[in-house]
Chains A and B, each alone.
Chain A
Amino acid sequence: MEPGVFGCFGPSPAVPGPSDFKTHADQSCRYAEEFVNIYYDCMDKKRRNLTRLYLDKSTLVWNGNTVSGQDALNEFYETLPSSEFQVYTLDCQPVHEQATQGQTTILVVSCGVVKFEGNKQRFFNQNFLLTAQATPNSEQPVWKIASDCFRFQDWQS
């Protein structure tokens, strides 16, 4: 699906309160599914737009390489070969409110295979912390990647 504003997806009128864990958990699933679709679609087909999904100061750890900030992320994704991702497994959890000082955050974990152009297909594991950023003019929060960690399953080979 195409978010109207990059990073914003899911019609969430309000972030659920701390006592409503189940709602939070249910919604997290929806957000995670939508996010994963958008993220890997961008990665594969609209690579130039990918970094808009990240917070300004977020960090990517990619097979042990640290990439911090929008500029570095832009450069990294530009030089990364074109990709074809397939996600086989996907899970998510809401991150407890106390831990995030009220900022709604969810953990997304994905596994699957990826084929980078010129390289063999490989299994990967990836996790994200997504955080909802309030926007001044809208009830709907914008979701951004706060942290991203990616590793090939067989990174040593």
Chain B
Amino acid sequence: GNMAEGGHYYNEHDDRAGAPYRGRKGQGSHRARSYGEGPRRDRTRGGHQANYTGPGPRSRLDDMDADVTMSDNSQDGTSQRRSKPYSRPYRRGDGRFDRDRRGGRGGGGYKGDGGGGGRGGGGGGGNSRAKQTCGAETLILVFQIPHGRKYDKKWLMTALQNICSVPFNPVNYNVDNYRAHFYVDDVATATALHKCSHKITDADGYKVEVHMNASGPPAFLQSDLKPEDLELLKQCMGKRFDGSQQALDLNTLRTDPELVSQNIDVILNRKTTMEAVIKIIEKEIPELVSLNLSNNRIQKLDDLSNLVGKVPNLKTLNLSNNELKSDRELDKIKGLKLGELWLEKNPLSNSFKDQASYIRSVTPQTDGQDLPPPIVFDVETPTVIPACKGSCFGSDEIKAIILRFLQQYYSIYDSGDRQSLLDAYHDGASLSMMTPYSTQNPSRSSLGEYHKDSRNLKRVKDTTLRYRLLKHTRLNVVAFLNELPKTQHDTASFNVDVNTYTVLTTCLFSSVTVEGKSRDSTMAFSRVFVTVPAGNSGLCIVNDQLFIRMATTEEIRKAFVAPAPTPSSSPVPTLTAPQQEMLSAFSLESVQPQVRHTYWYWWECRKVLSFSL
């Protein structure tokens, strides 16, 4: 009976048993359907040509099912109707999938998945196969009920549903030879169903086994669309067509509610579906001007190239948010002579070295005609950062005050006695400092002097220690500053960034300081002062935060550019000409007396005055 025929069938197709099914007609169509269309079936039944006749095959299916199932449930066609969109007649050469041999799985999708472990005809549905994923497509989980053929489908489904914790909808329930097969398409349901194995006892006293395989989408999901589906697709496309603009919007077509509600799977990265869409365009709207195919997981443009010559008015093509990987794809549609081509959010844009070559590559061949190149919209993410500028004072008034303040501050700071800095600080001022974590032995460099006071919250976690490292009140602040090593700053080139908030001004600046003759003693720092107004034109420091690190080679190089000044006992470092100039720029006379805010500023010293100890 069936077995023999099945055997015959198998012999016929054995050589294909393990072969990848990809490319039999493009995108890996499968023949995973085994339902009812067993070897007894006349394979030429309505399937080879595209003229599907709905009822025809189905009635045969009904017959078949009536033969093999014991209930009459399938005869009402409901099960078939459920699988209606997916059942697919044979194409030439597409034979029945060797389901029994391989556990009847749908070809494993694009990876040529061979299906379930070699089960014999008799239904030991052992899932020895590892699950395979199917690339871009969803995972479809196949269930097989060995000996399921003998069960009343309704009985079986009901029994399963009764014990299954998750409601499930078996897709494409069918029976072949000895097994019943159906699909579910989400893992949660599949897992719950799988647990139902051996939980139901049939009338013969045997436990019903429920075997699960993962699979790529079976053939019936990847098949050509049936005529009625094509009609629905056409209607759907019609609704997405704007006649006034001659624009067709197929963005994310797959999720179109009309298609989804009819269980029509329109996946444009499948050759068959894209072909169908192209044909509809050719036939119905050849005057198309604008076509949007974004968000359709399109990987290849082979089918789209069929539009060349068929849609002469097409000027705009949107292929953004797809999966085009190679610029060679674009070659296929050069003939379209587009004016605009949208390609962002495709992997392919990464393969171009620069925008120019990208644009060049999509410029259509014009046979010598001078057409303007298409406008390629490839909205890359920005990679240009704004240009860095120097000091940002906000106004000349502020600048004068701040520079004056800093000059005074640092002349004291570098003098060897910082006590008089008390006047610069608010009573309730705070100071803390931090050094970067360094793998270098800290004691070898001057930076080591600062490590013990480093209040890096990323490293110091103890609350008490954190508090101790924060110097509070100006007395403590200045006492601490007095303990720090003697320094020499270059006040000449300070880079100061000023920002204000109410009466507060923050000032970020960085500087290079030398504390000794050796390279190890050249450090750089960034400092933040937060100040409030004081007096007429003064500043009063409320917060002082100091970050000290080793100077970079570049900074050191620049630091020692200035010639060594003659030693001087004056606490004020000898000024170079530019420095003199700067100082005179804000002599007391030029300082505006009306100052409402105090400003903090950071100076960045680029040069260090070298000195002899």
B: which residues have CB within 8 A of A? Answer: 381-392, 394, 426, 428-437, 455-458, 463, 466-467, 470, 472, 495, 497-504, 506, 508, 510, 524, 526, 528, 530, 532, 542-543, 545, 547, 552, 554
**A94-B430 contact in complex given A147-B499, A154-B554, C-beta closer than 8 Å:** yes
**Least distance between A154 CB and chain B CB atoms (Å):** 7
Report the separation of the CA atoms of residues A105 and B530 in the bound assembly, to the nearest whole angstrom: 11
A121-143 contact mask (Cβ, 8 Å, vs B): 1 or 0: 00001010101000000000000
Given A95-B543, A100-B502, A131-B501, are A119 and B458 neighbors across the interface (CB < 8 Å)? no
Which 6 A-B pairs rank lowest in CB-CB distance, beginning with the nearest? Answer: A118-B383, A64-B389, A63-B388, A96-B428, A146-B501, A155-B388
Known contacts A29-B457, A93-B431, A154-B552, then 10 further A-B pairs from the complex at CB < 8 Å, ordered by chain A residue:
A59-B499, A61-B508, A79-B382, A81-B382, A91-B456, A95-B543, A103-B502, A107-B543, A149-B508, A149-B528
A45 within 8 A of B: no
Among A60, A96, A111, the residue within 8 A (CB) of B547 is A111
A contact residues vs B (CB 8 Å cutoff) = 21-22, 25-26, 29, 32-33, 58-66, 76, 79-82, 87-101, 103, 105, 107, 109, 111, 116-119, 125, 127, 129, 131, 146-149, 151-157
Contacting pair B384 A81 (CB below 8 A)? yes
| B430 cross-chain contacts in A, Cβ below 8 A | 25, 93-94, 96
Nearest CB to that of B555 among chain A residues?
Answer: A154
Contact of A95 with B388 at beta-carbon distance under 8 Å, contacts A80-B382, A82-B381, A89-B458 already known: no
Smallest beta-carbon distance A148→chain B, Å: 7
Please, could you name 23 A-B residue pairs with CB atoms under 8 Å apart, sorted by A? A25-B430, A25-B470, A58-B501, A60-B499, A61-B497, A64-B390, A64-B391, A65-B386, A88-B458, A89-B434, A89-B456, A93-B430, A94-B430, A105-B504, A117-B381, A119-B385, A125-B547, A129-B504, A129-B506, A147-B504, A151-B388, A151-B495, A154-B554
Closest beta carbon of chain A to B605's beta carbon, Å: 13
One of A25, A59, A90, A127 near B500 (C-beta < 8 A): A59
Measured CB to CB, the nearest residue on chain A to B382 is A81
- B530 with A157: CB separation less than 8 A: no
Q: Is the CB of A129 within 8 A of B530?
A: yes
Query: Which of A66, A89, A153 is the one whose CB lies under 8 Å from B392?
Result: A66
Q: Which of A88, A101, A148 contacts B436 (CB 8 A)?
A: A88
Q: Are B530 and A80 in contact (CB under 8 A)?
A: no
Q: Which residues of B contact A79 (CB under 8 A)?
A: 382, 384, 386
CB-based contact B508/A125 at 8 Å: yes
Quick one: closest B residue to A26, CB to CB? B463
Q: Which residues of A contact B542 (CB under 8 A)?
A: 95-96, 99
Question: Chain B residues near A96 (CB, 8 Å)?
Answer: 426, 428-430, 542-543
Q: B456 near A26 (CB under 8 angstroms)? A: no
Would B497 and A147 count as touching, CB distance under 8 A? no
- The answer to whether A81 and B506 touch (CB under 8 A), given A94-B430, A98-B426, A99-B426, is no
A109 to B543, CA, bound (A): 11
Between A25, A105, A149, the greatest number of chain B beta carbons within 10 A of the residue's beta carbon is seen for A149
> Are A33 and B394 within 8 A (Cβ)?
no
Q: How far is the CB of B469 from chain A (nearest CB, A)?
A: 9
Q: Inside 8 A of B532's CB, which chain A residues have their CB?
A: 98-99
Q: How far is the CB of B402 from chain A (nearest CB, A)?
A: 13
Nearest-Cβ distance from residue A144 to partner chain B, whole angstroms: 10
- How many Å lie between the Cα of A149 and that of B388 in the bound state? 13
Q: What separation, in Å, do the CA atoms of A88 and B391 have in the docked complex?
A: 25
Q: Which of B381, B391, B472, B554 contacts A21 (CB 8 A)?
A: B472
Contact status B458-A157, CB under 8 Å: no
Q: Is the CB of B500 within 8 A of A91?
A: no
In whole Å, how far is B355's beta carbon from the nearest beta carbon of chain A? 12
With a CB–CB cut-off of 8 A, which chain B residues contact A93? Answer: 430-432, 470, 543, 545
**CA A25 to CA B456, docked complex, whole Å:** 14
B504 touches which one: A32, A87, A95 (CB < 8 A)?
A95
Residues in A with CB closer than 8 Å to B432 are 91, 93
Which residues does chain B contribute within 8 Å of A94, judged by CB atoms? 430
| Docked complex Cα distance between A146 and B436 (Å) | 26
> Given A81-B381, A96-B429, A109–B497 Cβ distance below 8 Å?
no
Q: How many angstroms between the C-alpha atoms of A131 and B500 in the bound complex? A: 13
Which residues of A are found within 8 Å of B434, using beta-carbon distances?
A: 89-91, 109, 111
Q: CA A26 – CA B463 in complex, angstroms?
A: 7
Shortest A20–chain B CB gap in Å is: 12
Q: How far is the CA of A118 from the CA of B458 in the complex (A)?
A: 28
Tell me the bound Cα distance from A118 to B355 in angstroms.
14
Shortest distance from the beta carbon of B80 to any chain A beta carbon, whole Å:
49
- Cα A131 to Cα B510 in complex, Å, equals 25
CB atoms of B457 and A147 under 8 A apart = no
Task: Tell me the complex Cα distance, A143–B55, Å.
Answer: 69
Among candidates B394, B510, B545, residue contacting A66 with C-beta atoms closer than 8 Å: B394
B392 near A99 with CB under 8 A, answer no
